[in-house]
Amino acid sequence: MTTSGSTAPVSGLDRGRGAPALPAHVAVIMDGNGRWAAARGLPRVAGHRAGAEAVRRCIRAAITRGVGCLTLYAFSSENWRRTPDEVADLTALLRYYLRHKVAELCREGVRIRIIGDLSRFDADVRDEARRAEDMTAANTRLTLVLALSYGGRADIVQAAARVAFAARSGTIDPAELDEALFSRFLLTADVPDPDLIVRTSGECRLSNFLLWQSAYAELVFIETLWPDFDEHHFDAALDMFARRERRFGARPAL
């Protein structure tokens, strides 16, 4: 059920005749790095490093299968509660990949978008993040959204605050506020809502990820720990998505 990288992505909302539905936007909660390392008697940072390689495999799978947008929950707002050593390891790994791997993604036609509260990172990480966005802004093959210091509730709160400010300044009429207009104030305003959300490691929850945007997403939970995730797991998730009937509240098709 794979497609070539040159094939335009088919929206997950539209099932073509004789072809499986392909989600336009896949989002992934990458879970299990710590358990992967512990099972091997390794420090947690080894799991994060192995997880970074799984990220590369996931991006490659999204490109070759023709998915238009891939969002990765790379660092949640709750991750700041981890030990200082682990936070330092995570940010060091993030810094390395932003500095040394963005050019490779750019050559592959990947556009990088970053969402979340970057103010909590050091200035050099913020600079690298913005450089990555600027360098890849014109690319169209895949939009890669990195959720960094991101929380779904905080996203909704900041959107509500921006709506309130816009209403107070007269930019919008509160009487005209609806879901579509509100969505324009979210951090994901320039990408479609996810059609498919995948979580690894067997946990079955969203963990404060894209709470507004996931209202009608198909959810797939797999037992595999994130460092072991590869293109076969990606294909399996796409296959499960293709076999589901998405009704968006309507009656099932007869």
Q: Tens of pLDDT along 101-130?
A: 999 999 999 999 999 999 999 999 999 999
80 belongs to an annotated ligand binding site: yes
Query: Residue 246's pLDDT is what?
Result: 76
208 belongs to an annotated ligand binding site: no
Query: Residue 7's pLDDT is what?
Result: 32
Please, is 219 exposed, middle or buried when counting C-beta atoms within 10 Å of its C-beta (0-12, 13-18, 19+)?
A: middle
Q: What is the mean pLDDT of residues 132-137?
A: 98
Per-residue pLDDT tens over the stretch 178-231 = 999 999 999 999 999 999 999 999 999 999 999 999 999 999 999 999 999 999
The structure tokens 């909660």 sit at: 29
Query: Residue 241's pLDDT is what?
Result: 97
Candidate list 79, 127, 139, 228, residue with the active-site label: 79
Q: How confident is the model at residue 254 (pLDDT cuts 50, 70, 90)?
A: low
Q: What is the pTM of this model?
A: 0.89
What value does the mean pLDDT of the chain take?
91
Q: What is the mean pLDDT of residues 131-159?
A: 98
Q: How many CA atoms lie within 13 A of 169 on its CB side?
A: 7
CATH code: domain 25-242 is 3.40.1180.10
Query: Residue 15's pLDDT is what?
Result: 39
Could you give the 3-state DSSP secondary structure of residue 143?
Answer: strand
Query: Residue 19's pLDDT is what?
Result: 52
Candidate list 14, 31, 127, 239, residue with the active-site label: 31
Q: Where are the alpha helices (DSSP H) in 6-78?
A: 33-39, 44-65
Please, is 230 exposed, middle or buried when counting C-beta atoms within 10 Å of its C-beta (0-12, 13-18, 19+)?
A: middle
Longest dimension (CA), the chain: 59
206 belongs to an annotated ligand binding site: yes
Please, what is the Cα angle at 110 between 203 and 106, to 5 degrees? 130
DSSP-derived secondary structure letter, 220:
E
* Cβ neighbours of 56 (radius 10 Å): 13
Per-residue pLDDT tens over the stretch 50-80 = 999 999 999 999 999 999 999 999 999 999 9
Q: Check if 31 is active-site.
A: yes
pLDDT score of 22 more than 50:
yes
Q: Which one, of 92, 98, 39, lies nearest residue 226 by Cα?
A: 39
Query: Residue 20's pLDDT is what?
Result: 63
116 belongs to an annotated ligand binding site: no
Q: What is the mean pLDDT of residues 80-97?
A: 95
pLDDT score of 21 more than 50:
yes
